[in-house]
Chains A and B, each alone.
Chain A
Amino acid sequence: MIFYVIRRLLAAIPTLLAVLTLVFVIVRIVPGDPAVAILGDRATPDAVAAMQHRLGLDKPVWAQYLDFMGHSLRGDFGTSMVTGRPILQDVGAVLPHTMDLTIASMLVGTLLGVPAGVVAALHRNRWIDVTARMLSLVGLSFPVFVSGVFMLLAFALHWRLFPVIGNANLDDPIDRLDKLVLPALTLGITMAAYITRVTRSSMLQVLGEDYMRTARAKGVPWRRVVWRHGLRNAGLPVVTVVGLYVGILIGNSVLTEIVFNRPGLGKIIVGALNQRDYTMLQGLMTIYCFLIVVVNLVTDLTYGLIDPRVKQA
């Protein structure tokens, strides 16, 4: 197991380096000089030169590249051009809100999606399966900002069950939960739709396997065969897919945060876009990519943990 972990860790390094390189390239191909963008068109050449020096833009490109890679790998994602604060500090301040939302929506997605997928697979082509498939297709088709606005209209404005403003007081658990329900449902339902589909098709494959028949033949109750033997094997692709979903989840959480006016990474990134805060964008993109590479790694490791055969491959 240890060797497997080390091998996976080593394999993630080139990907991470390549991703960081791409971030660097994307930010560099921006038309216009960031120094001019910060100071405005009427800045004196001296001021522009000073700003270029401060941002390290007067160095040759390869030196900038090495600087960027070195800093990123040491966990230094730079400082915001607008506020002058370290990017990690701004990100850290909203992190609890983002974590709340991510974890809660993953819970909603799994708790709704996995049972729905299993039940649908067990009743293939019957009404319950058709309904589950239809609902998951509708769920997948809702852009989250549309479902978010609809949720807001229904549950916050029409029935007044939940608050509209989402800036939760972190020290007050009731308030924190109250303001989490609608955003977490919005994100979670989309995710549940996705998980239902994957669980269903994965379960359908497993149901036809020999070991399922064997377990049943030796007298294990059908319920237990399905949930223990079946789900355990069907769970593997589900884990992978949930891991791959993280990229979509990031985009969706940005939209959810905007709709429910929650503090979070999404609001920071939109603010940075509006203010043309290039260093902030570069830092955020780096953090997101780190996150995705790490999640992919964890997914791979979980895979190895659930299925011992993977380790040998």
Chain B
Amino acid sequence: MRRFVKRMMANPTTSIGVVLCALIVLAAVLAPYISPFDPLDQNIIDKLKPPSTTYWLGTDAYGRDVLSRVLWGARISLVVSVASIGAALLVGGAIGMVSGYVGGRVDLFIMQVMDVLLSFPSLILGLIVVALLGPELVNLIFAISLTAVAPFARIARAPVLSLKERAFVEAGRALGFSHIRVLFVHILPNILSEVLVMASLWMATAVRTEASLSFIGLGVKPPIATWGGMMRDGFDAILDAPWLSIFPGIAILMLVLGLNMVGDGLRDATDPKLSGS
């Protein structure tokens, strides 16, 4: 494990990625303590002020402090991406593992269903699900996890197909272990690294999707600060107040880039053969 961490951190890309993600996580955790203002506090006298020593990143059309809103917005991005990818990983991973392990017609059917799910353009699927169920945090998480279940099912299934033929599985069965135990105690650890690499890359996609939905107006409802929603406000005032769209845009980019870098680093570290590919 220590060697694994060392190998991962030896790669400068990964270290930068870890730092970027850590910064955003810190911002989210510490938001109540380090925000200079209340993110929802309106101050009409100071509306649309450019960045200054009082308002480091300026203020929006309601006179709300952009810096405080960017810090608080990190919470929504992180909660939505962690929860939705966590759910997709559990559900999709379980479906894929069981499907691959059972094999035969069941496997064929399940994978056909997953293929159908994959034929939906993910943003459109998310858009429609949120629009139909209503723009609530839970629905947003549900919609994003729905778009990610099929890929996780696929990635978990593929290695199970070959692993189930291996001697240790047969040995486990011969010792009288149940299928469930063999699957989750003996096979799961072997596919975990691959699934976790996927998870970090998909987290990046989830952050992007959440921000995109908020930008379209289907995210967590205002006045709660979300980066996509702030971009939307900034877009409406793009002629007068470019800082409104620049700073949340940079925040989104930092988190997505960080997650992608960590994902790449994880992949290289788990599979040295693929290094840099």
- Asked if B127 is at the interface of the complex by the 8 Å CB criterion, the answer is yes
Q: Is the CB of A251 within 8 A of B121?
A: yes
**Contact residues in A for B246 (Cβ distance below 8 Å):** 150, 153
Distance between Cα atoms of A293 and B128 in the complex (Å):
19
- Asked if A288 is at the interface of the complex by the 8 Å CB criterion, the answer is yes
**Contact residues in A for B131 (Cβ distance below 8 Å):** 273
- Asked if A313 is at the interface of the complex by the 8 Å CB criterion, the answer is no
- Segment touching B, from A41-49, A132-140, A210-218: A132-140
**Contact residues in B for A52 (Cβ distance below 8 Å):** none
CB within 8 Å of B: which of A254-307?
Answer: 254-255, 258-259, 269-270, 273, 281, 284-285, 288-289, 292-293, 296
Q: Is the CB of B204 within 8 A of A141?
A: yes
Q: Is the CB of A143 within 8 A of B276?
A: no
- Asked if A146 is at the interface of the complex by the 8 Å CB criterion, the answer is yes
Nearest CB in chain A: distance from B62 CB, A: 20
- Asked if A149 is at the interface of the complex by the 8 Å CB criterion, the answer is yes
Q: Is the CB of A149 within 8 A of B124?
A: no
Q: Is the CB of B264 within 8 A of A146?
A: no
- Asked if A145 is at the interface of the complex by the 8 Å CB criterion, the answer is yes
Distance between Cα atoms of A138 and B249 in the complex (Å):
13
Distance between Cα atoms of A133 and B13 in the complex (Å):
10
Distance between Cα atoms of A244 and B207 in the complex (Å):
21
**Contact residues in A for B123 (Cβ distance below 8 Å):** 248, 250-252, 254-255
Q: Is the CB of A250 within 8 A of B124?
A: yes
**Contact residues in A for B116 (Cβ distance below 8 Å):** 15, 18-19, 22
Q: From A145, A201, A289, give the contact of B215 (CB < 8 A).
A: A145
What per-residue 1/0 map shows which CB atoms of A229-253 lie under 8 Å from chain B? 0000000000000000011101110
CB within 8 Å of A: which of B96-150?
Answer: 112-113, 115-124, 127-129, 131-133
How many residues in B have their beta carbons less than 8 Å from beta carbons of A? 45
- Asked if A206 is at the interface of the complex by the 8 Å CB criterion, the answer is no
Question: Given A143-B252, A149-B231, A293-B119, A285 and B257 touching (CB < 8 A)?
Answer: no
Question: Taking chain A's interface residues, is the majority helix, strand, or loop, or is none over half, making it mixed?
Answer: helix
- Asked if A131 is at the interface of the complex by the 8 Å CB criterion, the answer is no
- Asked if B68 is at the interface of the complex by the 8 Å CB criterion, the answer is no
Q: Is the CB of A125 within 8 A of B253?
A: no
Distance between Cα atoms of A254 and B212 in the complex (Å):
10
Q: Is the CB of A251 within 8 A of B256?
A: no
Interface set of B (CB-CB < 8 Å, partner A): 13, 112-113, 115-124, 127-129, 131-133, 204, 208, 211-212, 215-216, 218, 228, 231, 234-235, 238-239, 242, 245-246, 249, 252-253, 256-257, 260-261, 264, 276-277
Given contacts A124-B276, A145-B212, A146-B249, 10 further A-B contacts (CB under 8 A): A129-B276, A140-B260, A141-B253, A144-B212, A201-B277, A251-B212, A258-B215, A269-B124, A288-B121, A293-B119
6 closest A-B pairs by beta carbon, nearest first, are A251-B123, A141-B257, A250-B121, A141-B256, A146-B249, A201-B277
